Amino acid sequence: MRIEVEVTGAAPAANVDEWTARVPELMRELTKKLDACGEALTLPCYAPGARNSASFQVVGAIYKTVRAYQREHGRPECVTIACDTDATARLYRQIYNFYMADTKAVRMQEADWD
């Protein structure tokens, strides 16, 4: 079971700043979507907020909710987060801590990972 981040150009669901005070509600809504899905689910991203802490709080809650659901229910096999831009996708990868550069040389050239 996995979570993937893909740049699709799709519009974000909202800005994370709109959800920082409503994380429990977001987690309940996400659980409803997970209950209704089959083996795969695509979710819209939440655009980064003005404060990094807001982004980490909301995106981290999404990750925790999806992973807990996958462990408990054994599905969906794949959840894809459809991001609007490369920068948003990079933020999600940093928060989820599953960034994978093709080579060490590529990773060493990317200032985001220093």
| 3-class state of residue 99 by DSSP | coil
Amino acid 7: pLDDT: 95
Between residues 73 and 1, the one the model is more confident about = 73
Domain boundary assignment for the chain? 2-113
- Give the model confidence (pLDDT) of 16-31 as tens digits: 998 888 999 999 999 9
Asked if 113 contacts 99 with a C-beta cutoff of 8 angstroms, the reply is yes
φ, ψ dihedrals at 75, nearest 5°? -160, 165
| 3-class state of residue 65 by DSSP | helix
- Give the model confidence (pLDDT) of 42-91 as tens digits: 999 999 888 888 888 898 899 999 999 999 999 999 999 999 999 999 88
- Provide mean pLDDT across the span 94-103: 64
Cα–Cα distance measured from residue 49 to residue 14, given in angstroms and rounded to the nearest whole number: 10
